[in-house]
Amino acid sequence: MKLNIAVLPGDGIGPEIIRVALDATQAVCDKFGHELHYEYGICGADAIDKVGNPYPEETHELCMRSDAVLFGAVGHPRFDNDPSAKVRPEQGLLAMRKRLGLYANIRPVTTFESLIHKSPLRADLVRGADFMCIRELTGGMYFGRPQGRSEDGNTAYDTCVYTREEITRIVTLAYEYAMKRRKKLTIVDKANVLATSRLWREVSKEITPLYPEVETEFMFVDNAAMRMIQWPTAFDVMVTENMFGDILTDEGSVITGSMGLLPSASIGTHTSVFEPIHGSWPQAAGQNIANPLATILSAAMMFDYAFGLKEEAALIRRAVDASMDAYVRTQDIQADNRPAYSTSEVGQWIFDYLSK
């Protein structure tokens, strides 16, 4: 098979972790006889510095002609600390999601037995946690209009908007994933307060009878946030709207003990994007200390979801598990009294494992 991918390193640690994930991707392609073709594109603060646009047209065209996108991260403190900035790296990310039709963000939350002690939760609570968060990605408050400030600057407003079509699409996808797992779906909303959430619940209840094998529960977002901490093993598949999903998926990520371990996939109508969830960490850029495992696992999701190559994806996941069992780990997850490995050293170890 020919794998035609766009590679967008982005900002901060993005280029370092993408380089490692791309090496792992090449090793798997070589092992299984696939042809890998890739092109680089710019985005985020890097693209603002170079062309003044966080998601240039050339990058969009590259993504559109690719079968998948391997993405690093965007963001830089100079924009975070400047509320008056008119152009921001995150605008490029939102533009990419909208223009590529990336309507569903999929984040698996799994625990690793060798890292249970790194979780902020007690071992008996977190052991065995294995669930999937599905976040609607192109609607809600992040894209709703009107949005802005009053003329005097003393009032700000954002608008949350959802359509029946958007809700039907994401909830149906969530049911399909639940059918492939343990057949339980939690639909998260705030239907006791928000009109958009009441539409979510109404539409979801119309879809529920189509999947009689799936156990469905509806849960308010505040209760879901508590339950994820109190009883993370109770969830199988969770689906929710954009802003709730943004918050809940980050909460879920720390259950594993490190945000550097969790990948994600954004499923789109034109192509799909695979990226780690941890952000750009610009303070660590160039230091060769970032954990590349989430990006490598994102490459595994790319093999699985974009190309249907499950054996290749499974091999990458085994390589990651083996590296942790061998204590070949970066500083964020290394065991006490053991030396930490650099980003490139972890990448080389996994490359060698995949090349055997």
Do 290 and 343 touch, CB atoms closer than 8 A? yes
Annotated active-site residue in 103, 142, 211, 341: 142
Catalytic residue among 118, 190, 304, 353: 190
Tell me if residue 158 is catalytic. Answer: no
Q: Which is the catalytic residue, given 49, 80, 222, 352?
A: 222
Question: What number of other Cβ atoms are within 10 A of residue 83's Cβ?
Answer: 6
Q: d(Cα 310, Cα 136) in Å, to the nearest integer?
A: 25
- 218 CB-near residues (< 8 Å, 6+ apart): 186, 187, 189, 191, 201, 204
- Compute CA distances 142 → 100, 157, 175, 295, whole Å: 16, 11, 24, 25
Active-site residue, from 130, 158, 246, 321:
246
Question: How far is 29 from 195, CA to CA, in rounded Å?
Answer: 48
> Residues 196, 232: contact at Cβ < 8 Å?
no
How do strand 237-240 and strand 184-189 relate by DSSP bridges?
parallel
Place of tokens 């908007």: 161
Going from the C-alpha of 265 to that of each of 106, 275, 276, 341, 349, the distances in angstroms are 5, 6, 9, 27, 25
Q: Is 189 a catalytic residue?
A: no
Q: What is the largest CA-CA distance in the chain?
A: 65
190 given a catalytic annotation:
yes
Which tokens sit at 155? 């009032």
Cis (ω within 30 of 0) for the bond into 209? Answer: no
In the set 130, 250, 321, 332, the catalytic residue is: 250
Tokens of 230: 């109190």
Active site amino acids: 142, 190, 222, 246, 250
